[in-house]
Amino acid sequence: MQNNLVLHFADGTIRKGTTDNFFPNRDQFHFREKDNNKVGEIQVSDLKAAYFVKTFEGNPAYQEIADMDRVGFGKKIRVDFKDGETQLGYTQGYTPARTGFFLFPCDPASNNDRIFIINAATEKVHFL
């Protein structure tokens, strides 16, 4: 299955493209750049987070609703990244000992379908 990804790297770089072989238990995956169709290998350890998006354009004017309750997505959490960004959502699989975990946005209308967050990029994870 082809996934649209917006990759946020630990160094602040952002890249858009697709993958069909991202697995949370692997150290790398193949990534096809949206702009030039170039295929390369991405090391998960280089990332801050991988945003699985519905569209690359999104809707910049849309304001996500952070206080929505979603059933069946796990526990509600707040992630504080080392770079100062904060992300709210739900997770079913947060374990600090793993490389990362999936977070599902609070707002089902978000352009983010799910986000794979790299634990090394987080300052603190709070269960709400």
pLDDT digits (tens, 9 = 90+) for 51-100: 999 999 999 899 999 888 999 999 999 999 999 999 999 999 899 999 99
Question: Residue 83 is encoded by which pair of tokens?
Answer: 């770079």
Token representation of residue 112: 């983010």
Q: What's the confidence (pLDDT) of residue 106?
A: 96
Report the 10 Å Cβ neighbour count for 82: 12
Give the SS3 label for residue 37: coil
pTM of the model: 0.95
Q: What number of residues does the chain have?
A: 128
Position 117 scores a pLDDT of 98
